[in-house]
Amino acid sequence: MPGSGRAQGPSPTTLSEVIKQFKTLTTRRYIEGVRPYGWHSFSGKLWQRSYHDHIIRKGTELNKIRTYICNNPIEWEGRVRDTHLWARPDRKGCFISQSKSKRTLRVRPEYH
């Protein structure tokens, strides 16, 4: 059903098809939310063209990737105006530490 937020057509069968549909759906949803929710519009593309997949073989690799994901928004500081939209303490596995000198985002120990 169009407009239901569900992908149309046959189900994806490869990882690249899944990623493509995910990026398409989330981009569409973001564009639809710009006006009603006051999200910032963007020029160009919301997603980078490709993606990086990686087989996680050890817990240390998983923790490294979790830390990267949690800290990624910090890398965008200065480019993302409404940091309160992503800096929420309810994000599973991440929390924000607000200090006067520096803001950091770390993986919660219980998710290691």
Task: Give me the residue spans of the domains in the chain.
Answer: 1-52, 54-112
pLDDT of residue 23: 92
Question: Looking at residue 77, what DSSP letter applies?
Answer: B
| Average pLDDT along the chain, 112 residues, taken 10 residues at a time | 60 87 92 87 82 86 83 62 52 49 47 42
Give the pLDDT of residue 77: 57
Helix (H, G, I), strand (E, B) or coil at 51: coil
pTM: 0.50
Give the model's pLDDT for residue 89.
47
48-70: b or e for each residue (b if 16 or more CB lie within 10 Å)? Answer: eeeeeeeeeeeeeeeeeebbeeb
